[in-house]
Amino acid sequence: MTDQTQQQDPSRQHAQPDTESESTLPHPGLTGGMREQPDHGEKSYQGSGRLQDKRTIITGGDSGIGRAVALAFAREGADVVISYLPEEEDDAQETVRLIEDAGRKAVTCPGDIRDEEQCRRIIDTAVQELGGIDVLVNNAAYQMAQPDGLAGITTEQFDRTVKTNLYAMFWLTKFALPHLTDGASIINTASVQSTTPSPPLLDYATTKGGIMTFTEGLAQSLGQQGIRVNAVAPGPIWTPLIPATMPEDMLEGFGATTPLGRAGQPREVAPAYVYLASQESSYVTGEVLAVTGGKPL
């Protein structure tokens, strides 16, 4: 098999992460602490102007899928506001560098999106710094695996998960609506957990199911305004969130049970967001686009 053939084979496009040598990270997990770095598309993603001059917001834009989306958006011609936790500043600055290296404007808005006023601040920042909003990507999320399932999920954890994953999406979308005009796009990050929940991630999966319902319902109400609402449902993707929220025994073989036999890389998810943000998907709304390595949604 030639090298070119191997590159085209999706099961070999990226190697399975060496999870056995990866150590758990303190939450929220920084990219620099990972022994095996994710691929965000730094060397491979090439834009073609599909989001030229779009004014975009990406929550959780400091690392993982969020960084890959920010990089792709910038290389497609978009300016980007990223939000993230203050303790993720190092990762955020690397994302800023990638956006600016693409010749686009990067704006940072650190803070905890469990706070309603922080969500309002993100929207206000985009309007003030970019002049408006064309694309809102609700991507930030919290999870913490509990091997004992429901018995191990405290009220504090459940509250944090719901506030980060659902309340923030609700607030951000509501505050953004007055600034969205026809042609705007809202993209929410769901998960394969939405429909195939794992017991250790029960609270997380519950919120992801809610995101799917919110996406489908909001698309019905905003269609006549020319605003599209869609979601991307990633499967097992190799990001700092994984070693920061899963015990080592759960890390072993992460993603290996997918039909493609490996975990995905953030770079492989980002094009789904580009598609849903661009005019190429002009007749697509209320859709949940699975990027799962073949795991059924």
> Is the Cβ–Cβ distance between 45 and 70 less than 8 Å?
no
* Token pair recorded at residue 6: 């191997």
The answer to whether 65 and 84 are in contact (CB under 8 A) is no
Q: Are 77 and 53 in contact (CB under 8 A)?
A: yes
Structural contact between residues 67 and 37, judged by C-beta atoms closer than 8 angstroms: no
204 in active site: yes
Query: Which tokens hold the place of 252?
Result: 């072993």
Residue 111 CA to residue 142 CA, distance in Å, equals 14
Q: Describe the crossing of helices 155-162 and 202-222 by its angle, rounded to 10 degrees.
A: 30
Active-site annotation holder among 142, 204, 273, 275: 204
The catalytic site residues sit at 204
